[in-house]
Amino acid sequence: MDITRRDFTKIGCKIIISAASGTAIVQSMFTKGIAAENPPENGGYDWEKHFWGYVVDTRKCIGCGRCANACKMENKVPFDEEVYRTWIERYRVKKTINETFEEEVVIDSPDGGIEGFVDDIPAEEVKKAFYVPKICNHCDNAPCVQVCPVGATYETKDGVVLVDYEYCIGCRYCIQGCPYGARYFNTEKGTADKCTWCYHRITKGLLPACVQACPTGARKFGDLKDNKSEVKKIMDEERITLLKPDLGTKPKVFYIGLDREVK
Amino acid sequence: MQPHLKRAFTILALIIIAFIFVRSLVVPESFGQYGWYRGDSVKEIRNLTVNYRGSASCGEENCHENIYTVWAKDRHKTVNCETCHGPAQKHVLDAREPLMPANDSRDYCGKCHFKRISRPEAFPQIDPGAHGEDLRCVYCHNPHKPWFD
Amino acid sequence: MLENLIWGYVYPNESEIQWSILIVLYPYITGLVAGAFIASSLYHVFGKKEIKPVARFALLTALSFLLVAMLPLLVHLGRPERGIEIMFTPHLTSAMSGFGYIFSFYLTIVVLEIWLSFREDIVNKALSSHGWKELLYSSLALFSFDISEKALHDDEKFARKLAIIGIPSAAFLHGYVGFIFGGIKANPWWSTPLMPIIFLMSAIVSGIALLILLYIAAMKIRKHVIDHKCLQSLAHYLWIFLILDVTLELLEIVSMKYASREDIDIINRLLSDKIGFTFYGVQLTLGIFIPFVLLLMVSLMKNRETLKLYMISISSIFVVIGVFAMRWNVVIGGQEISKSLSGTLTYVPVFFSQEGVLPALIIFILPFIILLVVTSILPPWKDMEEEPS
């Protein structure tokens, strides 16, 4: 068989190119797509054994704002910017004055409720008033995870929705996609940001900062896989509601005592 | 196929191969480890610094055992030490690290206890105009044991 | 100040509008691309001979706008240097993730289409010029100079196939931009399955209108007579697509109001307090109804070419403005309602800033400069200046 020099270089080139591109393709298609068998082990924490949930008992909230304050301290969320990982809303339903029986509801959350609230509507004009703590719902079918174009936000195996600050491109599509207004833009990092349920704390056996700070037990956090946890008990025994359940986001923050005005 | 089209498609193919090659170099190793995201980011977020240590570590032996016992028996046991004393993780790791001075102003107590229309009625609240003559609350009430015996 | 910008209750994190004027510009520019391409395929695919004078010019216009289409997105990113991740690890559940690939695919088709339809000119220039020009045109010809009748015929056949793929991909490129908004269930003003098709129709409308304006401008600058047959044919298609566009836009708003879901109060407030003028005034009246009537008159009138020319130009200007208002009303309007459904915000454009009006203006002027450069390398004037037979 005669192989001229020209043919030889041709064949050689082809082999080199196909080998180089072939391995590259195979590598990119497979090695990175294989799900790992073992979740990260870190200080004995196994994320397969937990599935976190959060309960808000709005009947107990006194609007002191310690939760929102502790959250900003713990997670270094800037105090001088209007960004919040958790906040408290105040609802005041005014007494009906006109004859249409339409209720006037005043909703506010001055500075996220971090500094507490001051009554600026006279008590005699209000017929019903209450606080509602809000936080990222860590949806099991999270629209923010769905819309992230690069895979920079995800739900962990233990049910926490996180943002990868080293990978997020800052397109802010997730902020648009969140129906609860739980996400914000971190101007310092140039990325999206949100509540992590204090993932750095709960994986070490601590409570999220907001839950720890709550003096009345309006915020509760626990493991839904643990039958003895308080959150699981409330789930099993109380009547609970979700925020915007019609959107099918499957939130994991469960509310007790929500009013119809709360969205 | 005509030679000019052949050449055009060769260029296109080279661009695609170059893209795949660059992609394989640039995409982080841990991407796709657990799902469509960078596996290492879970570790990164897990390793963020803790600031609030939790009340339990304040009551350890040879530390603040006494005041802890008083607090833990009384009604303010639901108020975490760090809610008034500030984040204490550094102080727990190294006792020489000072804490922020505890906030014992009247307004700070008022964040929970001033009368507000939106609060649950059963919660203990005072009318700040009528109670305590603008004195600091801690003048009469011990914050660790707020009720008189 | 801030108090006046916010009405009712908005979630604390919503105090800032996240998607600014740059994101208004992005669907606007891709819309012009898709429209110009579809106008050119009226000739290339559907064989509408009247369009021939502008067919290749339309392709160059599409290319010029396509080249800057991703700029507003890139400038808007918090981390522009990471933007390429959308190509490397596209998260396929996201409507946005397809952007990189659809964009690249479409760019390839447009470039190939242009290359094939200009190849005869390129080869002729390469053979007849010297120095750096020879090098430029020879490399554009990929050093293959076969322009025999058979080669050109094969090219044309292939170009036609490309154009046939090009139409759905142009429709996809832009329909998908609509889906970026239409797929957001959190936002009642965006979340409608009609969004992609509304975006597509307004894209075609704006692209044809832009082509008309550029054609008239080019002929005025080159001091050449306008081919009225071509112009009126374009105007005719503009009119047809306007009808489709207005039908869908009205259908959306009517069904929203008729269904009167939970969010209707806030939608009504948006339409009356926030974008009332830009929606009813600019988008519908100026951008659709006036051009619709003018173009109807153009098609009914006989002779009086100068008057028709004015009417077509005015309609096209109004359409181009109206479609911009439509993008504004979608992108900005959707963010001016709070997802709490009980409050509204106000977008105040800034001039000098990364996401201000200035970069938006620069990005919008850029395609015209690119078009100038591209037409000087690949002049399409020959088709336009042939005496109409």
Domains (ranges, CATH) in chain A? 47-140+195-256 (3.30.70.20), 143-193 (3.30.70.20)
In a domain, B129, yes or no: yes
- For CA atoms A189, A193, A197, A203, give the dihedral sign: negative
Number of domains in chain B: 2
Specify whether B41 is located in the same domain as B60.
no
Contacts of A164 in chain B (CB under 8 A): 37-38, 41, 44
Domain containing residue B80: 55-139
Torsion of CA C39, C41, C42, C47, to 10 degrees: 150
Contact C333, C195 (CB under 8 A): no
The answer to whether A70 contacts B54, with C-beta atoms less than 8 Å apart, is: no
Single out the residue of C316, C367, C322, C315 nearest to residue C62, CA to CA.
C367
The answer to whether B4 contacts C144, with C-beta atoms less than 8 Å apart, is: yes
| Domain boundaries defined on chain C | 2-379
**pLDDT for position C382:** 87
**pLDDT for position A7:** 54
Q: Is residue C54 pLDDT above 70, yes or no?
A: yes
Residue C46 CA: distances (Å) to CA of B6, C52, C239: 27, 11, 18
In a domain, B70, yes or no: yes
Which of A17, A39, A129 lies at the smallest CB-CB distance from B34? A39
**pLDDT for position B60:** 81
What's the rounded mean pLDDT across residues C99-113?
93
In a domain, B148, yes or no: no
Residue A129 CA: distances (Å) to CA of A87, A146, C261: 17, 36, 26
Contact A161, A152 (CB under 8 A): no
In angstroms, the CA C133 to CA C139 distance is 10
In a domain, B147, yes or no: no
Specify whether B65 is located in the same domain as B127.
yes
The per-residue pLDDT for range A33-56, each reduced to its tens digit, is: 433 434 444 568 999 999 999 999
**pLDDT for position A6:** 52
Contact C178, C195 (CB under 8 A): yes
In angstroms, the CA A52 to CA A208 distance is 11
Specify whether B16 is located in the same domain as B59.
no
In a domain, B87, yes or no: yes
Single out the residue of A164, C266, C201, A138 nearest to residue B36, CA to CA.
A164
Q: B–C: how many Cβ contacts below 8 A?
A: 32
Q: Rounded to a whole number, what is the distance in Å from the CA of B6 to chain C's nearest CA?
A: 10
The per-residue pLDDT for range C253-300, each reduced to its tens digit, is: 999 999 999 999 999 999 999 999 999 999 999 999 999 999 999 999
C88: helix, coil or strand? helix
Specify whether B67 is located in the same domain as B130.
yes
Average pLDDT, chain A: 87
Specify whether B37 is located in the same domain as B84.
no
The per-residue pLDDT for range B56-100, each reduced to its tens digit, is: 889 887 889 999 999 999 999 999 999 999 999 999 999 898 988
B106 Cβ neighbours under 8 A, 6+ residues apart: B128, B132, B134, B135, B136, B137
Specify whether B38 is located in the same domain as B61.
no
**pLDDT for position C263:** 93
Whether the CB of C194 is below 8 Å from some CB of chain B: the reply is no
**pLDDT for position C355:** 86
Q: Is the ipTM of this complex over 0.90?
A: yes
A37 Cβ neighbours under 8 A, 6+ residues apart: none
In a domain, B149, yes or no: no
Specify whether B41 is located in the same domain as B93.
no
Contact C326, C283 (CB under 8 A): yes
Q: CATH class for domain C2-379?
A: mainly alpha
**pLDDT for position A30:** 42
Specify whether B84 is located in the same domain as B62.
yes
**pLDDT for position C3:** 53
What's the rounded mean pLDDT across residues B10-18?
97
In angstroms, the CA A132 to CA A89 distance is 5
Backbone φ/ψ region at C383: left (φ over 0), alpha (ψ -120 to 50), beta: alpha
The parts of chain A modelled with pLDDT lower than 50 are 1-2, 19-41
- Would you state the structure tokens that stand for residue B91, as one six-digit string? 């102080």
The DSSP code for A33 is: T
In angstroms, the CA A113 to CA B112 distance is 12
Q: What does the radius of gyration of chain A's CA atoms come to, in whole angstroms?
A: 25
Q: A–C: how many Cβ contacts below 8 A?
A: 127
**pLDDT for position B132:** 86
The per-residue pLDDT for range C194-231, each reduced to its tens digit, is: 999 999 999 999 999 999 999 999 999 999 999 999 99
* pTM for this model (two decimals): 0.90
- Which one of A72, A150, A166, A168 would you mutate to disrupt binding with C, by most C Cβ within 10 Å of its Cβ? A150
How would DSSP label each residue in C198-262? Answer: HHHHHHHHHHHHHHHHHHHHHHHHTT----HHHHHHHHHHHHHHHHHHHHHHHHHHHHHHHH--T
- Would you state the structure tokens that stand for residue A8, as one six-digit string? 């030889």
The per-residue pLDDT for range A120-166, each reduced to its tens digit, is: 999 999 999 999 999 999 999 999 999 999 999 999 999 999 999 99
